Amino acid sequence: MNKGFKKTYCALVRRLEESSRLGGVMGILHWDQEVIMPAGASESRAQQIGALAGVLHEKTTHPEMGKLLDELFAADENKFTAPEWCNIREARREFHIATRVPKVLVTELAELSSRSHQIWVKARSENKFSDFVPALKKLVDLKIKWAGYVFPDMQPYDANIDIYERGTTQRDITPIFDKLKAELIPLIKAIQSSDYKPDVSFLSGQFPIEKQEALGRRIGEDMGFLFNHGRMDVSTHPFCGGSHPTDVRITTRYRTDNFLESLYAVIHETGHGLYEQGRMQNGRDLPVSEALTMAIHESQSLFWERMIAQGKPFCARYLPLLAETFPRNLKDVTPAQFYEAVNVSGPSLIRVGADEVTYPLHVLLRYELEKGLFDGSIRVEHLPEMWNAKMKEYLGVEPPTDTLGVLQDTHWSGGAFGYFPSYTLGAIYASQFYQALLRAKPGVEKQIAAGNMAPVREWLGVQIHQRGRLLSVPDLVERVTGEKLNPDNFLDYLKNKYRQIYQLD
């Protein structure tokens, strides 16, 4: 890089680092809102978030930023290192997106999302979807309007998907989801009709929250989560947030009658946290180090939750610790019994508690409803009845209340339309990554059974976490697994595993 470009690039880096740090402040405000903020502060917090969003928008769209990017992008890519060019490319994309959206719309969306979250929390607790309708309508309208500014040549829903899964559209997702629906519904019915049912009686009882907290922390530490660079708290909906790889916040929620829900939520969110803590050491306030897409992020949490923690080696390793923690329930349980119990499959009302066979249909339902909201074929007022009808059709269960149905997820209250497909795309990637790990390290399951998670964490770090945004998703997946996104791998994994557990022919 010559001196002129170096000076320009350094000026860009300073601006990107400042925006990243302000974004970190925004992350802590959101975490605080979910975890410890007094309920009465919701309006002032909405205004604070709206103001900060406006400041970030001004910095992102500053004319000087445009000048720097134009000068750098006009240069030969070969004059820069791969990380430098990635920062330039990512910043230019963000600049073009941001400059197309009026500041008033950015502020309005930020404030509405904050207010809508509090409205959703209250509506959910009181089972009153009608109270959430006006805010949800407005959010859909604003996100359609936003899409028209940012990607005027794309369908509004595709534009929203693109924020989470760049380059992915309904044309890519729908055939994959249709294939999953066609093959998973019969598998679910076969499981339901099986005469063999795993014993789950030992999972019922009373499990003190303080013991659950200690258990979750111990397993999080074994996975490699650095608590001096992170923390674990309680929220309505488990999530991973924070401000920086050195300040990663994960949350769970507790039920005294069910320790598995909290434990596996901790494992799931710790998977996200390890991705954040494992990012490349250089340029951590720059785009190059950031997670690639939400599906890749989700693949990491599902990798740990399902591929590792629901696997036989992990279950055999940690059953003694669980029995020591909850001796009244687990002292006489065998590893085989525990493995079957944590992998029990059956239709359920709540997505976050769904097993890996039924979970994709929860996502598919939401995907189909979001498509309808954005193409105008579904009205917000009709969501509860359509939700319930699809739950009945796909899973054979029908929510008795909206709290257990259409109001269960926080995503829509924050305007996160197009996010849900990432969960199932992530599950597909996770199964592919695990097969690649087994090929790369044939003895890794023995390491897991011995309680050594370091080989898993280190392999993921090198293959995925430390690569940041240097590669596109298709290139990353092919580099790691030798193939592109492949739902057949995921379906084969589910069929083989659950046919064995439920003794299906």
499/504 Cα distance (integer angstroms): 5
Length of the chain: 505
Helix, strand, coil tally for the chain in percent (to 5): 70, 5, 25
Question: What is the edge-to-edge ordering of all strands in the sheet holding 240-244?
Answer: 230-234, 247-252, 240-244
**Residue 234: in which H helix or E strand, if any?**
strand 230-234
60/91 Cα distance (integer angstroms): 9
158/154 Cα distance (integer angstroms): 6
Residue 256's Cα: distance from chain center in Å?
25
7/233 Cα distance (integer angstroms): 43
Listed residue (208, 199, 201, 204) closest to 325, CA to CA: 208
Supply φ then ψ for residue 119, to 5 degrees.
Answer: -65, -45
- Catalytic member of 34, 111, 269, 298: 269
CB-based contact 334:150 (threshold 8 Å): no
Query: Which residues, 6+ apart, have CB-to-CB distance to 214 below 8 Å?
Result: 325
Whether residue 269 lies in the annotated active site = yes
CB-based contact 234:210 (threshold 8 Å): no
Tokens 């669980």 belong to residue: 322
125/37 Cα distance (integer angstroms): 17
Catalytic positions: 269
